[in-house]
Amino acid sequence: MFNLKRHTALVTGAGQGVGAGIAKALAKQGAAVVVNDYYLERAQSTAREILATDGRAVAVQGDVTNLESIRKMVEAGRASFGAIDILVNNAGNAGVGAFVPTQFRDMPIKEWDKFIEINLYGVLHCVKVLLDELCDRGWGRIITITSGAYRVGNGMGISLYAAGKAGAVVSANNCPAK
């Protein structure tokens, strides 16, 4: 396996499910992990599990749909471990609200924003906050968790979720040559 002992990872939406699994896997490989969740208690739970296995972790509350919130959680991570050089954009789904599959034709327009804000803008905000320093240091990794839902139409009632994930896939996650 790979050794991440000299690296720090920020994993969004890491208080449960896939995000918690990613955070634990990175810690197992030696990374210090900044465990983010909208709900601090969930982030703390994942961080405690990492610490119980002699890993390094800190829990940070933050809302990836809010740029200032991301800046604060990144600063909290830096205060604990120094520079963050791995970003895992995992937060998604319907954000903090319930994901209720709804056919596009039946979904009120006012419901669209929650899917686009978390699945697209959440990714863009996190990348925006960290990209310059990753590029300037000449090393970093940005991993965006997405879904195959954006590739195929289906009748499940997840079209806005799929649209947000599609946007996240084509986001510019690289460092241009200077």
Among all residues, which ones are annotated catalytic?
Answer: 161
CB 33 within 8 A of CB 55: yes
User: β-pairing, 32-37 with 86-89?
Assistant: unpaired
Tell me which residue of 90, 68, 79 sits closest to 10, measured CA to CA: 90
Tell me which residue of 110, 96, 113, 87 sits closest to 37, measured CA to CA: 96
Q: Which helix (H) or strand (E) holds 132?
A: helix 122-137
DSSP code string of 150-176: GTS--SSS-HHHHHHHHHHHTS--S--
Phi then psi for residue 33, to 5 deg, are: -120, 125
